[in-house]
A = this chain, B = another copy of it.
Amino acid sequence: MQKKVLALLREAGDGYISGEEIAGRLGVSRTAVWKHIRALKAAGYEIESHARKGYSLLDAPDLLLPQEIQPTLRTQVIGKNMIHFNDIPSSNNEAKRLALEGAPDGTVVVAEAQGAGKGRLSRGWYSPSQKGIWFSVVLRPSFLPQEAPKCTLMAAVAVMRAMKDMGFSVGIKWPNDVLDDNGKKLVGILTEMSAEMERVNFVVIGTGINVNLWPEDFPEDVRDIATSLSMLRGGRVDRLELFARVLEAMDELYVSVENDGFGTVLDEWRQYSVTLGQEVNVIGVRESFSGTAADIDEDGALLIDTPTGRRRVLAGDVSIRPRKK
C-alpha cells in the first residue's frame, strides 16, 4: 500500500494530490493515508503537506530501494524479486543463504553498506554506506557447471554497457576488473556457485561498483589503485539510474546466454577488453610468466603467446606491463 501511495505522489509530478483523492483511489481511510505518508517520510522521502492542496513529493532518499527501482525496471528475470538492506556483512553470503532457501531465479540482494564485503580470493571489498552499489544476483541457469565461471565475464560486460551508456570511458581487464583509462579499479565481481556434476543449483554474482566515493573515502592501501565514477566525472552520479541500467544489461545478457550460450558475452568482452594485445605478467597458482595476451577462448580462458608457445590461463592475477616509451 505504501508503494501505491508513493506511485500516486509520483503521478502528481511537481503538483499536489489531496489526501482525500489518495484515500478514494486506494479505497482506504484518510487516517491510513496519513500513516503511510508518515512512514514514507521516516524512510527518507521529502513530502510537503499543504493544508489545502494536499501532498507533494519533493525528493526521494538516495537509497537503492526496490520501490524506487522496480516500477520502471525493464527486465524479464533479474530484479523481479529484490531485497534491500541498509547494512549487512556481505550481500553474497545473504544471497547464498536465500538461494539455499529457494529464492527464485533473478533475486537481487542490495545493501547500502557491507560490513565485510567479499572480493576474489578471500580479499575484502570496502563498501561504505550509500557510496556505491553493492549487490548480488541469484541465478538458476540451465547451463552446465563448467559454463558457470563465465558468469563473471557476463557481469563485467553488463557493468561496462551501463557505464558506457552513461558516458564513462572504461575497459575490462581479464577476467572481470572494470578499470578507468588510468587502469584504476571501479568494480569488483565475485561469482560463487553451488552445483552438482551436471546441474547448477545456483550461481550468485556479487558486484561492487564504486559510485560516489571521494579519495578520502578509500582506505589508504587501495587509494592508488581504486577510483570511483564521481571522481571520474567530478561530481555526484545517480546510483539509481546506474543500478537500473546494470540490472537491465545483465538481464538481457542472461536471457541471451540461456537461449544461445555465451557467444555474445565473449564477443562483447573482447570488444571492451584492455588486456588483449598487451604485454602481460601472469602470476598463477603454481608459476609466473610473461607474454602477449592474444585472445580469450570459449571457456573464457586467457590465451597468452610466449616465446615457448601459446599458454592458457584460467585463474590467477594478470597485470598489464606498461609500454616502453
**A residues adjacent to B (C-beta < 8 A):** 120-121, 142, 144-146, 148-149, 151-152, 175, 190-199, 201, 285, 299, 314-316
Contact = CB atoms under 8 A, between A and B. Distances in A.
Contacts of A175: 197
Nearest to A315: B198
29 contacts: A120-B196, A120-B198, A121-B196, A121-B199, A142-B285, A144-B315, A145-B145, A145-B148, A145-B193, A146-B149, A146-B299, A146-B314, A148-B197, A149-B198, A151-B197, A152-B197, A175-B197, A190-B197, A191-B196, A191-B197, A192-B196, A192-B201, A193-B193, A193-B195, A193-B196, A194-B194, A197-B315, A198-B315, A198-B316
A190 B314 CA distance: 26
B198 A195 contact: no
Which 10 pairs from chain A and chain B are nearest by CB?
Answer: A198-B315, A149-B197, A191-B197, A152-B197, A192-B196, A194-B194, A146-B146, A193-B195, A144-B314, A144-B315
Contacts of A144: 314-315
Contacts of A199: 121, 315
Nearest to A142: B285
Nearest to A193: B195
B198 A190 contact: no
Contacts of A190: 196-197
Given A194-B194, A198-B316, 10 more contacts: A121-B199, A142-B285, A145-B148, A145-B149, A145-B193, A149-B198, A190-B197, A193-B195, A193-B196, A195-B195
A175 B198 CA distance: 10
A287 to B, nearest CB: 14
A314 B147 CA distance: 11
A199 B149 CA distance: 10
* Among A193, A197, A285, A299: residue with most chain B CB under 10 A: A197
Nearest to A175: B197
A296 to B, nearest CB: 14
Contact of A192 (B149, B195, B316): B195
* Among A142, A151, A199: residue with most chain B CB under 10 A: A199
A19 B285 CA distance: 56
Contacts of A193: 145, 193-196
A285 B143 CA distance: 10
Contact of A198 (B142, B201, B314): B314
